[in-house]
Structure 1
C-alpha cells in the first residue's frame, strides 16, 4: 500500500483506545483508521461502534466502517427450494459454541475465489478466542458423519450479531449453518451484520443499507 494513502488516514495510538466517530468521518473507501493494536478491549470497543478490522497480516491494521453496509434482517432470510430439501434431509448436525477454535482456524485456511491468502492473522485469531472465552464471540459448527465440514463465527453486540467469516468443506455446509443460526435466533437478533457484499449472502436475503441507518440500529440495540 502506498505511503501517501496513510497521510489521509487517522493513525491510532496504541496506548489509547479510541476511533474517529464513523457517523461523521468517512475515511477512505470505508477505512476509518489504521494502526493501533488487536487487544480484546480495542476490538470490542470497535464493534460496539460499528467498526471492524480487515487487513493483510503483513500490513498495517486497517479499521473499517463501509457505506453502504451489507446486512441481513432475520425476517428477510431467503431459503431456496433446493436448500429446503437439503435441510429436510437432516444430513448435517449443527451445533453452537462447541469448537470455536477449529471454526476460526478453518476460516483462516479455507481457499476462496479471488483471494490469495487470509486476513486472519494469528494475533487476531487469538483475540477472538479470548472474546469467545468471555462469551462475546460465538461459533456455529456444521458436522457430517462426525467431521467438522462447515461453520461460521462472529461477535454478539447486544441484539446485533456481527458475522465475521464462514467456511465450507462440502457443498451447502456453511449455508446450512447460517440458515439454522438465523432461524434459531430470529427473535434474539435485530440484525445480522455481514459487513461487505458477497453473492453467497445476497442469495440468502442480505442487502445494503446506509451506514447512517446501520449505526442508528446498532446504537439502539447494542446494550
Structure 2
C-alpha cells in the first residue's frame, strides 16, 4: 500500500497517557470501519494504530496510548508534535465491520482498544443497523474509561446498543462487571454460536479470548481481530 502524507491538525491529551490525534490526508483516502493506519517511521518501521472514526468526513482520528517508557507510541507522538506531518498507510486490516451480516454483535475492547470499537459503533449508528450490539470495554481502573459518556450515550440513544463496562481492579463501591473483559462476555452468554465477535486488545488477551469463546460455541470464522494475524 502506498503511504499518504497526512497533516496533524490536532493533538489533545485526554489523560496522563492518552492522546487523541486528528490527521488530515493531503489526498482522498478510503477505509472501512474497524481498519487501522500504519504510521511510517522508517523504511522498515511502521507503527499500527486503530482508526477511531467511521469512514465519513475527511479526517482520521487516532487514540494513542503513550508514556515515556513506551517508545513504540511515544516516538510517534513526538514525531507528530515536532514535524506536523506523517506518512501513513490508511485502511489496513481485515477486522472491519461486516455491514451485511444480520447476526448479533459482541464488541470486546481492552484499554485504548476502544478506538477500534468506536469506529465500528459510529458506522453501525450511521448505517442505522438494527443488529443487537453488546459492547464490553475493559480497563484496569475507572479513570481509564476516557470515553464513557459517549459509550453511555450510544446505549441511551439506540435501543439495540448495550454498554457493559468492566474494571479489572475495581474500587469496593463498584457495582458492575469486574475482572477480565472477555470473562464478562462468557458469564453473560453461555452459547456464542449466533454472534459476530470483534476483539481488540493486547495480543495475549486476544489469544485467550478467542480460545475461550470457541470453547463456548463461537464460530472461529465469525471472530474478528487483527491481532490474530500476529499470534
With the length of structure 1 as denominator, give the TM-score of the two structures.
0.34
Bigger fraction of residues in strand: 2
